[in-house]
Structure 1
Amino acid sequence: MRAVLLVNPKATTTSERARDVLVRALRSEVDLSVRYTRQRGHATTLAREAAEEGVDAVVTLGGDGTVNEVVNGLMTATTAGGAEPTADRLPALATVPGGSTNVFARALGLPREWPEGASMIMEGLRLGRRRTIGLGRADDRYFTFCAGFGLDAAVIHRVEEARRRGRVSSPSLYFRAFTAQLLLGNERRHPAIQLERPGETTEGELATIIVQNTAPWTYVGDREVNPNPAASFDLGLDVLALRQLGVASTTRTVTQFFSPTPDPHGRQVLRLHDMAEFTLVASRPQAFQLDGDYLGEREKVRFTSVPAALRVIC
């Protein structure tokens, strides 16, 4: 088996020594080449090249941002004969958790820490263990586990700015960013989003949208956060929208996300399950994120579910 290991050298929870250990272990199982990302977006190019070379597997060592870039590279590769990329024509994806949260890897059932995750990947490679999953697509970009339009994307933007100033990512940093955005952002006072579905009545005056391709949406330490607990890699997309962002009602809804048996509900909550496609349209630009990476502001995004898109080793 031929495999490529794509390494983000800035991954937050691994060291150079750890990477060397992983490379030696993988080389005991597969014919391996190692490639390092140099800047944002580089993993997409490297993954596309690996797929077009016809390798059997692409292994990532990095966080959710690296995984997202690699998935986009795989899904936009030109496969043999110029055929449309399908799960059986593309390399299988293996994800060794190397970021701070690793939502995608953990949603697949991998351990949180990289040594245990790597051990499980090695076993999957050895036994030929594969699972085919669906993906989400927002306009022309794929995502693995979540997207956000409005409040949660604005919070991520605040956190990314704080990290650029030297702050360490932590639950308390996210909490402070959430509180500041809720109190100071425009979302609370002026809901601006509409959700349009083919053949259905438009849902208007929405303040913020969370889209999930699987559950959970994210983690706080070991604790799952579940706005849409029924979301699954095997189904379409799930949506949770809030019509208003009152401080008390929003705090109550967010608290429901953390319940051991989550069932977010209330007058301001809209939930939609197993959606094939929908479009979000805003009367003013909204913060937008995919898989935890802030991508700027948008006024319109079309979402589609891409079933049985990719094989993963887990």
Structure 2
Amino acid sequence: MRALLVVNPRATTTSERGRDVLVRALRSAVDLTVSYTQRRGHATKLARDAAESGVDVVVTLGGDGTVNEAVNGLLTASTALSGLPGPTADRLPSLAVVPGGSTNVFARALGMPRDWAEGTSVILDGIRDGRTRVIGLGRADDRWFTFTAGLGWDAATIRRVEQSRMHGRTSTPGLYMRATFGQFFAGRDRKDPPLTLERPGETPDTELSTVIVQNTAPWTYVGDRPVHLNPDASFDLGLDVVALRKLTIAGGARTVTQLAWRARDPRGKQVLRLHDITEFTVVASRPQAFQLDGDYLGERQKVHFVSVPSALRVIC
């Protein structure tokens, strides 16, 4: 069995010694090639090239951003390999994820241990036993995502965090909480909501200040605590949505507190919740921050979302 290990050398919780141990462990079970990412987007090319060369398993060591890039590489290769539109898990390499980032939402949603050494053991057992799971993915225009996407407030919060990290700040739950509150109180969108959610055959939902899309639960973690927006979201169903309407300072503060401290799904008349949706479009009256799997991807004014079942085979 041939495998590619894609390593993000800047991943938060990894070290050179740990990577060496991982490589030796994987080489005991597979014919392994190791590639290190050199820039943003590099993991996409590495995974696509591996799929097109007939590799059986792609393993990632990094955070959710590395996983997202690798998945996009695999799913891009899917169409190229088949000549047919749409992905099919059976014609792709399996994906295995060794948690190496600060949060590792995708790996934890799959039930993987947080510790990379324990995660490696699970992957080795899965390879030897042929144990895999087929999951659905989300697609936002031409980009795939594994667990979340967002337009508006949550994406602008991620933009703030990434700007802080560029200035040397460490990614911590506290940094995200400060960015969340700061973006809410400084942003224009809670007073003048710019977003509209359109579904085929349904009346549009207008005046939304943020739209958060889930492909699984939880939405994210604050340290060890899962944060649930739509607890019933699942890799085996369509997409779930939580959107916030126009918010007062008091109502917004209450919602933010629910998310930050109670780690529960927010409720109230200003909260729109949708479960198991196949397709929808979010349109903005002005450019809005956009994120996929916790990576800020710039600003958009229109994004078309689709749920794609049975898109990827994972070892877990």
Fold agreement, TM-score > 0.5: yes
1:9 aligns with 2:9: yes
Partner of 1:290: 292
- Which whole-Å CA distance do the structure 2 matches of 1:259 and 1:286 have between them? 26
1:279 aligns with 2:281: yes
What is the alpha-carbon root mean square deviation over aligned residues? 1.4
Q: Deviations over 1:56-97 (max 9, x none)?
A: 110000000000000000000055554554100000000000
**Displacement of 1:177:** 0.9
Which residue, 104, 107, 118 being the options, matches 2:106? 104
Unaligned runs of at least 5 residues, structure 1: none
Residue number in structure 2 paired with 1:212: 214
Aligned partners of 1:250 and 1:231: how far apart in 2? 23
Match of 1:178 among 153, 177, 180: 180
Q: Distance in 2 between matches of 1:207 and 1:95?
A: 33
2:205 aligns to what? 203
Which residue number corresponds to residue 34 of structure 2? 34
* Partner of residue 71, structure 2: 71
Is the 8 Å Cα contact of residues 79 and 89 (structure 1) preserved in structure 2? no
Aligned to 1:151: 153
What secondary structure, in the 3-state scheme, does the structure 2 residue paired with 1:122 have?
A: helix
* 1:273 to 1:134, Cα distance in 2 relative to 1, 3 A: same
**CA distance in 1 between partners of 2:37 and 2:246 (Å):** 41
Q: Partner of 1:238 in structure 2? A: 240
Q: CA deviation at 1:249?
A: 1.5
Q: Which residue of 1 aligns with 2:191?
A: 189
Paired residue type of 1:109 = G
Does the C-alpha gap of structure 1 residues 253 and 284 become closer, same or farther in structure 2, counting only changes over 3 Å? same
Q: After superposition, give the CA deviation of every residue in 1:262-313 in whole Å (9 maximum; x if it has no partner).
A: 4421010000000000000010011100000000110000000011100000
Corresponding residue SS for 1:207: strand
Shift of 1:250: 2.3
Distance 2:128 2:250 in 1: 51
Change (3 A) 1:300 1:80: closer
Q: Return the offset for 1:248.
A: 2.1
Distance 1:279 1:81, change over 3 A: closer
Deviations 1:106-146 (A, max 9, x none): 00000112111111111111111100000000000000000
Contact kept? 1:11, 1:63, Cα under 8 Å? yes
8 A Cα contact 2:222 2:260, kept in partner? no
1:20 partner letter:
D
Q: Is the 1:51–1:79 contact (alpha carbons within 8 Å) kept by the matching residues of 2?
A: no
Which whole-Å CA distance do the structure 2 matches of 1:62 and 1:99 have between them? 5
Q: What residue ranges of structure 2 are gaps of 5+ in the alignment?
A: none
Matches of 2:229 and 2:114, distance apart in 1: 21
Which residue, 91, 97, 108 being the options, matches 1:89? Answer: 91
